[in-house]
A and B are shown apart, each in its own frame.
Chain A
């Protein structure tokens, strides 16, 4: 069983953390290229305490995005543990069943990616409201909360009923942020959320992040912009230290 109902401490999950990544290894096997082995991560270890924002650092290609994808369940891990405090129990995302990962996404892990992946015809308002509806909220109430979020991120009201596919890159990005912040999930993954925003909207995002942190939400982020990073980071994990390629070259 992947659920462990015993106390956090006996599972190796430090008190007060929402996420604990422990000794994770990941190698890609590229079958189409003579089964070439591509080592990515080796011994990755860090915690995300509740109410803290942990930033992933390291040069590009060091595996920052891979870490994000692993925590969200898009990538598997070869060994190690990715422990999530999910509804009062500890779930190891490395060994969790697909159904458990889906449940964790619904109620515990939010993800704001760099690009919006939305179904083509759905209006922006519903794209933002969807995570609430999925969790069983009343549609009308979900739309009201979504509209407050869209207004904060200065998406003009005339766009709310249109599908985001027709929006500019910056507008799509803000819809994506609204969607990520509309629910109150205890862990938020932020994958370069401010990459295509102007200074004013970056300020709004910093504000949103700080509000959630104050509410006890734990965050794991990749930030391209130094001003955002400096404004929100409580700790930095240098992914390069855990880069499998680097460790091999040292050895």
Chain B
């Protein structure tokens, strides 16, 4: 928390589908250790926003800058003094490097983020190999450590995710995305589709790992209770625009926009 510069700076960013904007005029800064929730109904533009942040969709307007230099001074591209990358100017190769070393992505559907017929240990070890780890014993030990951290029983390390429950698959996906110590993790509805009790356990796990590792997280969710539980700040999206933003407690307890008041009033009280 000593470093006062944001990790990610988004200014008036937008993406066009043909002549229609999927999202537009989005601005925010994100610091290490912060969890930002993006909430809204389907069609609100929250997935499009996640798409441009994670460079799966083009930034057609505005700018998204990512700071590559780590606290220890390493990580800048090719020793260049400029460490603030304008994402839209990066080559595919540079974006791939970010995915290997800096960014994680936890999908709603674990099948999109995991290799379903490779062992759990293999799924967690792969990102290490991509980062140059060669010693089998070390890779295995690290994978074991991470599977333990996400509470997968040690005896399941050689089983494939295809044989796992939905909650276990999500936990393996989280291990695969955190094992290489990324700095920024995108999460797309990571807990929807799970039973409520499994959801609570997963949220608790995400919350404690994020705090321990000082990660920056952008989590897209339609569930305000998820936002309340794990995010520091919240953006509310509607029709491709951010209509309200601020401290999560404030957005949920004292919503200003009519639409946010409607969303908050439709939360099931529990």
Contact = CB atoms under 8 A, between A and B. Distances in A.
Tell whether A pairs with B.
Answer: yes
Contact of B204 (A28, A30, A102, A120): A120
B254 A121 contact: no
Contact of A76 (B201, B233, B250, B262): B250
B261 A121 contact: no
A69 B253 contact: yes
Contacts of B250: 73-76, 98
Interface in B192-234: 200-201, 203-204, 207-208, 211, 229, 232-233
A11 B85 CA distance: 39
Given A102-B232, A102-B247, A121 B204 contact: yes
A75 B261 CA distance: 14
Contact of A119 (B204, B256, B258): B204
A35 B51 CA distance: 35
Given A74-B253, A98-B232, A98-B233, A32 B262 contact: yes
Nearest to B6: A99
A76 B232 contact: no
B105 interface: no
A75 B200 contact: no
B3 to A, nearest CB: 13
Contacts of A32: 258, 261-262, 265
A227 interface: no
A102 B234 CA distance: 13
A47 B31 CA distance: 33
A23 to B, nearest CB: 19
B249 interface: yes
Contacts of B258: 31-32, 35
Interface in B244-260: 246-247, 249-250, 253-254, 256-258
A197 interface: no
Interface residues of B, number: 24
**Residue from B201, B254, B265 having most chain A Cβ neighbours under 10 A:** B254
A163 to B, nearest CB: 9
A78 to B, nearest CB: 11
Nearest to A26: B254
B242 to A, nearest CB: 14
A101 interface: yes
Interface residues of A, number: 22
A75 B233 contact: no
A213 B150 CA distance: 42
A233 interface: no
Contacts of B229: 119
A72 B248 CA distance: 13
A159 interface: no
A29 B258 CA distance: 9
A74 B254 contact: yes
Contacts of A121: 200-201, 204
A28 B233 CA distance: 21
A134 B207 CA distance: 12
A122 B254 contact: no
A75 B254 contact: yes
A175 B246 CA distance: 29
A133 B33 CA distance: 14
Contacts of B253: 69, 74-75
Given A69-B253, A74-B254, A98 B246 contact: yes
A28 to B, nearest CB: 8
Contacts of A72: 249
Contact of B31 (A73, A99, A120, A122): A99
A74 B261 contact: no
A31 B207 contact: no
A76 B228 CA distance: 17
Interface string A36-57: 0000000000000000000000
15 contacts: A29-B256, A30-B261, A31-B257, A35-B258, A69-B254, A74-B247, A74-B253, A76-B250, A98-B233, A98-B246, A99-B31, A102-B232, A120-B204, A121-B201, A121-B204
Given A32-B261, A76-B250, A133-B211, 10 more contacts: A28-B254, A32-B262, A32-B265, A69-B254, A74-B254, A98-B232, A98-B246, A99-B31, A119-B229, A121-B200
What are the 5 closest A-B residue pairs judged by CB atoms, nearest first?
A31-B258, A98-B247, A120-B200, A74-B253, A75-B254
